Amino acid sequence: MSLKNVKVLTISQSISPFMDIPEEMARVSRQLPQGILDRGNEIRVFMPKFGCINERRHQLHEVIRLSGMNLIINDTDHALLIKVASVPSARMQVYFIDNEEYFKRKAATHDVDGEFYADNDERALFFGRGVLETVRKLGWVPDIIHCHGWMTAFVPLYIRHYFADDPHFENAKLVFSVYDQKAEALDKDLAKKLVMEGFDKDLLKGLSKPTTDDLYKFAMGLSDAVVKASPKLGKGLETAIKAVDKPTMAYAAEGEQVNAHADFYNSVLEAALV
Q: What is the pLDDT of residues 196-225, one digit of tens each?
A: 888 888 888 888 889 999 999 999 999 999
111 close to 51: Cβ distance less than 8 angstroms: no
Ranges of each domain in the chain: 7-273
C-alpha pair distances (Å), 35 with each of 46, 131, 155, 221, 242: 16, 22, 23, 27, 28
- If phi > 0 it is left, if psi is from -120 to 50 it is alpha, else beta; for residue 67 that is beta
**Dihedral in degrees, nearest 10, Cα atoms 30, 31, 32, 35:** 130
| pLDDT values of the chain reduced to their tens digit, one per residue, 274 residues | 577 889 999 999 999 999 988 889 999 999 999 999 999 999 999 999 998 888 888 888 888 888 878 888 877 888 899 999 999 777 899 999 999 889 988 889 998 888 999 999 999 999 999 999 999 999 999 999 999 999 999 999 999 988 988 999 989 999 999 999 989 999 999 998 998 888 888 888 888 889 999 999 999 999 999 999 999 999 999 999 999 899 999 999 888 999 999 999 999 998 877 6
Share of the chain above pLDDT 70, in %: 99
151 close to 124: Cβ distance less than 8 angstroms: yes
Q: What is the pLDDT of residues 16-52, one digit of tens each?
A: 999 988 889 999 999 999 999 999 999 999 999 998 8
Average pLDDT of every residue of the chain: 91
**Across the chain, which distance is largest between two alpha carbons, in Å?**
52
Q: Tell me which of 3.40.605.10, 3.30.420.10, 3.40.50.2000, 3.40.50.2300 is the CATH number of domain 7-273.
A: 3.40.50.2000
- Say how many CA atoms lie within 13 Å of 32 toward its Cβ: 32
Report the predicted TM-score, pTM, of the whole model to 2 decimal places.
Answer: 0.94
Report the DSSP beta bridge partners of residue 248: 226
Residues in the chain: 274
Rg (CA), the chain: 17
